[in-house]
Amino acid sequence: MNDRQAISAILGARVGVLGAGQLGRMLGLAGRSLGLELQFLDPTADSPAAAVGELLVADYGDEHALARLAAADVVTFEFENVPVAAVKALEARVRVFPGSSALEVAQDRLHEKTCFRGLGIGTPPFEAVSSWSELAAALSRIGLPAVLKTRRFGYDGKGQAVLRSEADARAAFERLGSAPLILEGFVKFQRELSIVAVRSASGEIARYPLVQNHHSDGILRKTMAPAPDVSAASQQAANQYIDKLLAELDYVGVLALELFEVDGQLLANEIAPRVHNTGHWTIEGAVTSQFENHLRAILGLPLGITDAISPCAMLNLIGAAPDARAVLAVPDAHLHWYGKAPRPGRKVGHITVRAPDTATLEHRVAELERLIASSDK
Ligand SMILES: Nc1ncnc2c1ncn2[C@@H]1O[C@H](COP(=O)(O)OP(=O)(O)O)[C@@H](O)[C@H]1O
Ligand SMILES: [Mg+2]
C-alpha cells in the first residue's frame, strides 16, 4: 500500500457508535481530527455526541437504525448497558469491536468476578445472592461489613449498599432484592487505582500507567495520573491482569480495570469495556488519548504512545459548573464541557490540569477543587 492509499483508507472511514453521551462526544472529537465520520445511535435526542457526528435517535433495538449503523466500516459502543442482542445483530453484518462476548461479561458483576477468579486475578470475596436466605448464608461466610450490589445496570455507585449490620442487610435487600444480586466483602483498601489499556485488531497492546482515583458517594471525583508512589511490583501486577483480560476476552479497543490497593496487593473491582472516566486525563496528559487509541485499535491502525507527558490530574464536574474564566486562569488547566444540563449527581464536564512537578500540581488541584466546591453551593 502506498502512502496515498494508506491515508485514503482512514479518511472518511465511518465508525458507528452505540450510545451518544460524553464518551461518544470525546470519541467523536478524536475521530474528527483523524478524518473519520462518526454516526451515533442513542434514544435521547439532545445527546452530547450530536455535536460531533450524525445522531440517529432511536431505541438500541430499532431495526432501521441498526441497519444504518451496519453500513459503517466498524461499529463500537460507548455505553456499557446497550442490549447484547443489538450488538449481536450488528455483529452478523459488520465488524463490532469490542465484541458482544466481552460486553456480556462486563454487564454482569457475577460473570465479571468469576472471570477474574478464573484468570487468577485477586478479587474481594463474593457470592451470588437471589433470596433473603441466600443473603443470610452469604453474610455468615463473608461477614460484615459487606457490599450488596445488583449484578446488572449499576453505575456511579447506584444499585448498591454498604452493609454494616443485619438491619442494613434487611433494608438493602428490601430495596435491591427484586433483581439478582452479588454480595462482596467490604475491602478496607488504602486507595483505588485503575489501569486503562488498548489492544488493536492486529493484537498490539499498549497500556497507560496506573492512576489513582478518588470517589465519594460512589462517583469518581478525581484521578491523579500517573498514580503517585506506585511500586514496580504493583504496575507489573496490573499489567499482567489487564493483559490476561485482553487475551481472555479476545478484546479489541480500550479496556479499563478498576482496582483496590490493599497492603501492596491489587484486587480487581470491575472492568469497563469502553473508554473510561479514569482515562480522561489522557487527552492532555498522555502522548495519545484513550479516545484516539480506541479508534486506532478498532480500525486496525498502529497504536499511539501511552506515556504520561507530566504529572496530571482530572477533576469531574458533577451537577454544577465552576466559573469557566476562573478555571482557565489556573495555569495549564483545560476545561471539557459535555453540553448537558446540570442536575445533581450528573457528570457535566471535567477539568484536566498538568504541572511540571507534583508539588505544583497539588497546588493547582487545590485551587480547582476550591472553585468546584464554591460552584456546588
Ligand atoms: N467491595 C467493596 N469494598 C469497598 N468499597 C467498594 C466495594 N465495591 C465498591 N466499592 C466502592 O464503591 C465504588 C463504586 O463501586 P463499583 O463496584 O465500582 O460500581 P460502579 O459500577 O457504580 O462504579 C467503588 O469505586 C468503591 O469506592
Ligand atoms: Mg466502578
Grid coordinates belonging to 20: 451518544
* The pLDDT of residue 7 is above 60: no
What is the per-residue pLDDT for 8? 59
What is the per-residue pLDDT for 12? 84
Grid coordinates belonging to 348: 457535566
Q: Is 80 in the pocket of ligand 1 (CB under 6 A)?
A: no
CB 356 within 8 A of CB 364: no
Q: Which of 15, 27, 2 is nearest to 275 (CA)?
A: 27
CA dist list (Å): 46 to 43, 139, 183: 9, 44, 37
CB 162 within 8 A of CB 151: no
CB 306 within 8 A of CB 293: yes
Grid coordinates belonging to 31: 475521530
CB 177 within 8 A of CB 136: no
Confidence of residue 103 (pLDDT cuts 50, 70, 90): very high
Residue 339 backbone phi and psi in degrees, to 5:
75, 30
Q: Where are the alpha helices (DSSP H) in 147-190?
A: 166-176
Residues in the chain: 377
Pairing of β 14-18 and β 333-337 = unpaired
Q: 36-74: per-residue pLDDT in tens?
A: 999 999 999 999 999 999 999 999 999 999 999 999 999
Q: Where are the alpha helices (DSSP H) in the chain?
A: 3-10, 22-33, 63-69, 84-91, 100-107, 109-118, 132-142, 166-176, 232-248, 282-285, 290-298, 324-328, 358-375
Q: Which of 304, 311, 295 is nearest to 223 (CA)?
A: 311
* The pLDDT of residue 1 is above 60: no
* The pLDDT of residue 126 is above 60: yes
What is the per-residue pLDDT for 10? 74
What is the per-residue pLDDT for 320? 86
CA dist list (Å): 87 to 80, 90, 106, 235: 11, 5, 14, 33
Tell me the CA–centroid distance for residue 112 and ligand 1, in Å: 14
* The pLDDT of residue 9 is above 80: no
pTM of the model: 0.96
Grid coordinates belonging to 154: 449499576
What is the per-residue pLDDT for 5? 54
Tell me the CA–centroid distance for residue 132 and ligand 1, in Å: 22
C-alpha–C-alpha distance, residues 98 and 109, integer Å: 18
Longest pairwise C-alpha distance within the chain: 69
Percent of the chain's residues with pLDDT above 90: 95
Tell me the CA–centroid distance for residue 124 and ligand 1, in Å: 11
Tell me the CA–centroid distance for residue 157 and ligand 2, in Å: 7
Pocket test of ligand 1: the residue of 123, 129, 160 to mutate, having most ligand atoms within 8 Å of its CB, is 160
Q: Is 157 in the pocket of ligand 1 (CB under 6 A)?
A: yes
In three-state form (DSSP H/G/I as H, E/B as E, the rest C), the secondary structure along 160-214 is EEEECCHHHHHHHHHHHCCCCEEEEECCCCCEEEEEEEEECCCCCEEECCCEEEE
DSSP percent split of the chain into helix, strand, coil, nearest 5: 35, 25, 35
CB 321 within 8 A of CB 373: no
Q: 247-291: per-residue pLDDT in tens?
A: 999 999 999 999 999 999 999 999 999 999 999 999 999 999 999
Residue 85 backbone phi and psi in degrees, to 5:
-60, -40
What is the per-residue pLDDT for 199? 98
What is the per-residue pLDDT for 377? 57
What is the per-residue pLDDT for 11? 74
Q: 229-253: per-residue pLDDT in tens?
A: 999 999 999 999 999 999 999 999 9
- Taking all residues of the chain, what is their mean pLDDT, rounded to a whole number? 96
Q: Is 261 in the pocket of ligand 1 (CB under 6 A)?
A: no
C-alpha–C-alpha distance, residues 58 and 250, integer Å: 30
Cα angle, residue 83 at apex, residues 78 and 89 outer, rounded to 5°: 100
C-alpha–C-alpha distance, residues 70 and 9, integer Å: 18
Q: Is 182 in the pocket of ligand 1 (CB under 6 A)?
A: no
